[in-house]
Structure 1
Amino acid sequence: MEFAFAFLILAIVFIAKTFKIVPQQHAWIIERLGKFHAVLSPGLNFVIPFIDRVAYKHSLKEIPLDVPSQVCITRDNTQLQVDGILYFQVLDPRLASYGTSDYLLAISQLAQTTLRSVIGKLELDKTFEERDEINRAVVNALDEAATNWGVKVLRYEIKDLTPPQSILHSMQQQITAEREKRALIAKSEGVKQEQINLATGQREADIQRSQGEMQAAINESEGERQAQINRAEGEAEAIRLVARANAEAIAIIAQAIERQGGPEAVNLKVAEQYIGAFANLAKTGNTMLLPANAADVAGMVATAMNVVQKTK
């Protein structure tokens, strides 16, 4: 009974030592009698119990490695507290097992050393501006060295760059001064643009006002010219009308003279106008010039009729 129980235990141990189940994205290193024998791939694998042993287990996934914080000196002798994170992947499990005693420690130390070297070549301001360049430089240096360790360095990211407190205070003052400078420049640009707009508006208003005054003067002169034309045309028309009326009156008088009794009527009219003219002279003036024969009305009338007869 005891023999059967011992045999069962031995069988279980034998099976456990013989069958190895490797998880996905993992690689196990098998040593046979202390010497590298094989790399077990994911799935069910068979080994020789008590002769083969699993010496190393590696994950083939992308692994993040936190690089410890360290103090770096820039080119202008400024201290910077720098920390970052490194991403790598095991590509060759055999080299990762036998290429170095501890590839995690080796990668971390090399990352710190490379970072100090890269930052030492840059000034303080450049370290903040060229973080991507620093990351690429660290990755290139690590990837070249990690090839012998069976590791592929994928990327490195700086998490924080912390200068001393005095430097931070100076940087803050510089940023404040720069912001105030930009604010003053923006304000002056605004005032300048406002003055330009006001001058432009005033100039346009003056131009419009002068154009309006010029147009008003033109309109006024056109109106005056048209008024003079209208006035001249009115006077000419009045003269024409008076001349036409006089001509018509003369024609009527001539026709009246041709008729029977016309000369006697003319004599009577002339006599009336003669007497009326002397009457008006007597009313309007104290001094009066009279012809020598002023009392001879019949003679004056005869003279007038003689003129009419000659004209006829």
Structure 2
Amino acid sequence: MGTEIFVGVLLVFAVITVLKAVRVVPQGFEWTVERFGRYTHTLTPGLAFIIPWVDGIGRKINMMEQVMEVPGQDVITMDNAVVKVDGIVFFQVLDAAKAAYEVAQLEVAIINLVMTNIRTSIGSMALDESLSKRDEINAKVLVAVDLATHPWGVKVNRIELKDIQPPRDLIDAMAKQMKAEREKRANILEAEGFRQAAILRAEGEKQSAILEAEGEREAAFREAEARERLAEAEAKATEMVSTAIAAGDVQAINYFVAQKYVEALKDFAASPNQKLLMLPMETTGVLGSLAGIAELAKAVQDKAAPTSLPRA
């Protein structure tokens, strides 16, 4: 009976020893091995063996990239505005031994580092800069935190500020300021539009006046040219009449006088203020001139007609 108990105890001891000697490390993790409390080496993912009852598993370190929430905190900007800031941090352990034994409470240490550097970065900026330069703040905090966590075997990949929230009264004031700025820009654009329209209208009137003046000048030039040609024609007609009179042709003067008389009567008749035209007794002189014109035309025709041949 005692032997059976001893064998049973021995079997249990053997099973426990095997279990302590064989370790299966899951993917994405690394386990540290301690011998009598002192770190010896690190187990990578897969099947591993250690010395039972001598070696033991120290820390199980997650080697995957991890995400942590950065709790919200009140931060005072350079111009004494209080804003509430929160964010997220992405980090990954690269050296399991350093992460296990170089720092206690790794995640708490990283969060505190991020919060401290966020306060430092935003505290060196004015409110407007902190709201508009979020990428610059992220970059500054990332560089500082990554440098501080390097001795811990940790790589901080990204730090993102999720929200920068000013106080409510400050938000209302900023909204009013933005509205006033937009109204100012709208008024400026409207005034610029009126100014441009006035300039274009003035340019159009100027071009119209120039074209009108050029048209009047051209019309005056053509009118003067027409009067000049009319005067030339009148002088030529007078010269021809004078030549005819000098040659002894009295009918030419009658033609000339009659033409002027008729033109004068035509002008009188075309006048809008004349409804009744009364001719003097000397109108018979005009008839005589017309008769002279007829005789002159007949004489011209007689001279131009060919001489009739004698009949056989």
1:212 is matched with 215
TM-score of the superposition, structure 1-length normalised?
A: 0.70
Task: Verify: 1:28 aligned to 2:31, yes or no.
Answer: yes
SS of residue in 2 equivalent to 1:184: helix
1:258 is matched with none
Distance 1:240 1:73, change over 3 A: same
Alpha-carbon distance in 2 for matches of 1:10, 1:168: 70
Task: Verify: 1:51 aligned to 2:66, yes or no.
Answer: no
Name which of 126, 149, 154 aligns with 2:129. 126
Alpha-carbon distance in 2 for matches of 1:32, 1:102: 22
Name which of 144, 147, 159 aligns with 2:147. 144
2:90 is matched with 87
Task: Verify: 1:64 aligned to 2:67, yes or no.
Answer: yes
Alpha-carbon distance in 2 for matches of 1:144, 1:239: 122
| Equivalent residues in 2 for 1:174-193, closer than 5 Å | 174-193=177-196
1:153-191, CA deviations, whole angstroms, 9 ceiling, x for partnerless residues? 222111111111111111111111111111111111111
Larger radius of gyration: 1
Task: Verify: 1:222 aligned to 2:240, yes or no.
Answer: no
Name which of 111, 115, 119 aligns with 1:116. 119
Task: Verify: 1:200 aligned to 2:212, yes or no.
Answer: no
Indicate the RMSD between aligned Cα atoms, in angstroms: 2.9
How far did 1:11 drift? 6.4
How far did 1:237 drift? 5.0
Name which of 91, 94, 103 aligns with 1:100. 103
How far did 1:62 drift? 2.3
2:293 is matched with none
1:69-97, CA deviations, whole angstroms, 9 ceiling, x for partnerless residues? 00111122221111011121111111100
Q: Which runs of 5+ in 2 are unaligned?
A: 250-284, 286-312
| Equivalent residues in 2 for 1:35-46, closer than 5 Å | 35-46=38-49
TM-score of the superposition, structure 2-length normalised?
A: 0.70
Q: What is the aligned length?
A: 247
How far did 1:202 drift? 1.0
Distance 1:34 1:224, change over 3 A: same
